[in-house]
Amino acid sequence: MRRKSLQCLSLRMFWMGCAWSWSILEYLQTC
């Protein structure tokens, strides 16, 4: 159970990083 929660946390951080980099790419494209 503890390992599962850790996996979920890492997955959430991964998606946050992807969304962050994606927003930066979109911002650079609009400029």
What pTM does this model have? 0.47
Angle at 11 between CA 29 and CA 26, to 5 degrees: 5
Residue 1 has pLDDT above 70, yes or no: no
Mean of the pLDDT values across residues 3-26? 89
- Domain-wise residue ranges, the chain: 1-31
Mean of the pLDDT values across residues 21-25? 90
Mean of the pLDDT values across residues 3-15? 87
Q: How far apart are CA 31 and CA 17, in angstroms?
A: 21
Under the banding of pLDDT at 50, 70 and 90, the label for residue 30 is confident
